[in-house]
A and B are shown apart, each in its own frame.
Chain A
Amino acid sequence: MIEPLTNRAPTRVFLTWIGFWIALFAIGGYFGMLCLSQGLHHTNMNNRFGFGIWIFLDLTVIALGAGAFFSAFLLYILKKQALKDVIGSAVVLGFICYSGAVVVLAIDVGQPLRAWFTFWHPNAHSMLAEVTFCLTLYLLVLAIEYVPLILKNPSLSKNVSLLIFEGQLHKVVVVFAGVGAVLSFFHQGSLGGLYGVMNGRPFAFREHFFIWPSTFFLFILSAIAAGPSFLILINKLASKITKKQLVRKEAYDFLGRISGWLLLAYVGLKSADTIVWINHTAPASGYSVSEFFKEASFGTWILFAEIVLFGLLPALVLINSRLRKRPSLMIVAPMLVCIGIAINRYVMTLQSQSLPTLPFEEFVLYTPSLVEIGVFGGMISYGVIVFSLSYRYLPLYPGLRQKAKT
């Protein structure tokens, strides 16, 4: 029998909390099975929209989950000890984001019995081959990094073999941190590259450096900027819900600072990329950028929001040590960062398909079906369930254990 840790919520409270999310997950699971068994006609995807909100969700959670690889890289390779408090939650969040993305992708792609084709018969010239390999291998790395946490449960650690295995995994975690950093780096990049190489979609197509479009680098930078912010946000939210200080202020401060500077660098490069796109890339493909933003639903406001409101503004807050000391701003700024990344992924996924590319095409706004929203909700609830179970049964926060002792 697996026992919860000693200073966790009573069983009744926990079951009430988790019950709601399990119900939502069940609905999502049912809709997912519908798509797998009957096909994608349950969604609003069609020949115009090959990517729907699931791909937007995948790209967003994978960007937000970058906190896992980036924190592991900073802690185990660059020895930034301030991150010890958050590494457990970072690994769990990374695992949730990547495994959730894989499941949703499996529903989206369909034909799960043929999933091995993509590994055995890869198209090495496709960005999707890189996405597939990186995604799968990095999920494996995250699962391996998650195992030592699971084995730290008091009930499991009574087994000396498991305990020794946990110790051994801990010893080699630096290898996984290094491999994970390489994989996630290229995975984030290839997701961005996916859009940047679409020369039939002038809204998404970008200039190339060697074989990589600029979006390859922008996706990497935005992900490693948003990952730490997402970690701050989720850990603060968990602290609020559990009414416990789970992470020391120094860790939040470090994460906030690093997120701010990286975001500032991203905003700078994104602005430069946008200027080149407006003045060179789009005109070269026969389009004026103003045509991309003439519909109200995707007006220039969205570009302003992405770069200034949800980019520059939170970056300026997070790089300022005085502002980082204000608890409310340390929630608002990371929230703005995460929303900004979500907008970027939404725009790249859906605006690029909404815009017509042929003279006889109309602008079409994508609206997801109930099934798509249900699966979307199911993925979110899956994340809440896994994180809640991990918090209840595993020592995610070393700082919390010390606090309980004193």
Chain B
Amino acid sequence: MLPGMYEFHFELGHLIFLGGFMTIGAVIGATLLIALFRSTRIVTVPGGAKESTEGVLHHVGHTLLRPLAGGTLKISLDDLGTRLLGRPDRMRLPGIGQRITEGADAVKLWRKQAAATIVAPVSGTVVETGGHDDKWYLRVLPDATPVEGENLMGATKVRSWLTSEIDKLQAVLSSEDLGLAMADGGEPLPDLPSAVPDADWQKIYSEMF
């Protein structure tokens, strides 16, 4: 196994064979240790997770709360929020173990020099972070369940709220010197900043998020 033992020979085959397995063992051990080390950077959460909340909830900050088994929630942008940002150029997420508070700034996303500040739709502790490609940004253990609040909506209320939000977007875009940016009754493009690059996106993000 190791130099000095009678089975060990300084031959290329031996070195490749045993070295390969030792490297794999080291990779497994190191990866596990990294996961453990990162896990130790936590803060305690009062209350802990309760039973799963049924259904997806919409927050007025254009975020979605998706309940997972074990009482955690995945936070993502809603459809309009995703279209407003397209693919963010960079992002700043809270660290794992960090607490977020409902209504307070939680995530910052940059697109074409403009920054969108996403507020936390729920109070809780971040247990995992994702990204645009994951289609979610935070996984949170909420402080209390069932999750409820004035700024959260179930599927029934979303339609009328979303209509008013699209009206708001239309108004913001129309106030720009852009000509006709959105047709009445139309659907926003999947990546609005690319479609309307000259708009004041900082202003739009401030209005919409």
Measuring CB to CB, which residues of chain A are less than 8 angstroms from any residue of chain B?
A: 5, 119-124, 129-130, 133, 137, 140-141, 144, 152-154, 156-161, 163-172, 175-176, 179, 182-183, 395, 401, 405
A165/B35 contact (C-beta < 8 A), A154-B69, A179-B24 known: yes
> Which residues on the A side are within 8 Å of B55 (C-beta)?
405
Given contacts A144-B32, A168-B96, A176-B31, contact A161 B42 (CB under 8 A): yes
Complexed CA–CA distance, A168 and B32 (Å): 9
Are the C-beta atoms of A160 and B42 separated by less than 8 Å? yes
Please name the residue on chain A nearest to B42 by beta carbon: A164
**20 interchain pairs, CB-CB under 8 A:** A120-B1, A120-B5, A121-B6, A124-B14, A124-B18, A144-B32, A152-B69, A158-B71, A159-B48, A160-B48, A160-B49, A163-B70, A163-B72, A163-B141, A164-B38, A165-B36, A169-B35, A171-B35, A172-B35, A176-B31
Find A164's partner among B18, B27, B97 (CB 8 Å cutoff). Answer: B97
For residue B28, CB closer than 8 A to chain A, the reply is yes
Are the C-beta atoms of B42 and A154 separated by less than 8 Å?
Answer: no
Hey, which chain B residues are within 8 Å of A163, CB to CB?
49, 70, 72, 127, 141
Interface centre among B17, B25, B34, B127 (most CB of A within 10 A): B127
Q: What A residues does B6 contact at CB under 8 A?
A: 121
What is the bound-complex CA distance between A175 and B26, given in angstroms?
A: 12
Report the separation of the CA atoms of residues A169 and B42 in the bound assembly, to the nearest whole angstrom. Answer: 15
A144 touches B28 (CB 8 A): yes
How long is the Cα–Cα vector from A211 to B7 in the complex, in angstroms? 20
Q: Which residues of A contact B32 (CB under 8 A)?
A: 144
Would B28 and A176 count as touching, CB distance under 8 A? yes
Task: Give every chain B residue within 8 A of A164 (Cβ-Cβ).
Answer: 38-39, 42, 96-97, 127-128
Q: Find out whether the CB atom of A168 lies under 8 angstroms from the CB atom of B141.
A: no
Q: Which residues of B contact A182 (CB under 8 A)?
A: 24
Asked, given contacts A165-B35, A175-B27, whether A121 binds B128 with beta carbons under 8 Å apart, the answer is: no
Q: A154-B71, A160-B125 are in contact. List 9 more A-B contacts (CB 8 A).
A: A121-B5, A137-B25, A154-B52, A157-B71, A158-B49, A158-B70, A158-B71, A167-B139, A179-B28
Q: Whole-angstrom distance between the alpha carbons of A347 and B72 in the complex?
A: 50
Give min CB distance, B209 to chain A, whole Å.
25
Q: How far is the CB of B152 from chain A (nearest CB, A)?
A: 17
User: Does chain A have a CB within 8 A of B51?
Assistant: yes
B54 near A: Cβ within 8 Å?
A: yes
> Are B39 and A5 in contact, CB atoms less than 8 angstroms apart?
no
B18 touches A122 (CB 8 A): yes
* Cβ–Cβ contact A160 & B45, under 8 A: yes
Q: Indicate the member of A158, A164, A171, A179 with the most B CB atoms within 10 Å.
A: A164
Whole-angstrom distance between the Cβ of A143 and the nearest chain B Cβ = 10
Q: In the assembly, what is the distance between CA of A144 and CA of B35, in Å?
A: 11
CA A364 to CA B31, docked complex, whole Å = 50
- Could you say which of A121, A141, A168, A401 contacts B35, with CB atoms under 8 Å apart? A168
Per the bound structure, the CA–CA distance linking A156 and B28 in Å amounts to: 24
**Which A residues touch B27, using CB under 8 A?**
175, 179
Q: How many interface residues does B have (CB within 8 Å)? A: 41
Residue of B at shortest CB range from A140? B28
Taking CB as reference atom, which chain A residue is nearest B21? A133
Select one of A141, A159, A171 contacting B28, CB under 8 A: A141
Complexed CA–CA distance, A164 and B5 (Å): 42
Interface check B44, CB cutoff 8 A: yes
> Does B13 reach chain A (CB closer than 8 Å)?
yes
Which residues of chain B are near A166, meaning CB under 8 Å?
A: 127
Chain B residue, CB-CB nearest to A178: B27
Q: Which of A157, A172, A395 contacts B49 (CB 8 A)?
A: A157
The answer on a CB contact under 8 Å between A137 and B49 is no
Complex interface residues of chain B between 131 and 159 (CB less than 8 A to chain A): 139, 141
Contacts of B125 in A (CB 8 A): 160
In the complex, chain A residues whose CB is within 8 Å of the CB of B13: 124
Chain B residues whose C-beta falls within 8 Å of the C-beta of A133 in the assembled complex: 21
Chain A residue at smallest Cβ distance from B130: A171
Determine how close the nearest CB of chain B comes to the CB of A332; give it in whole angstroms. Answer: 34
Give the residue name and chain of the B residue nearest to A3 (CB): B51
Residue of A nearest to B44 (CB): A160
Tell me if A154 and B7 are in contact (CB < 8 A).
no
In whole Å, how far is B50's beta carbon from the nearest beta carbon of chain A?
8
Known contacts A5-B69, A167-B128, A405-B54, A172 near B34 by CB under 8 Å: yes
Closest-CB distance, B85 to chain A (whole angstroms): 22
Give the chain B neighbours of A179 by CB distance below 8 A: 24, 27-28
Closest residue on chain B to residue A175 by CB atoms: B31
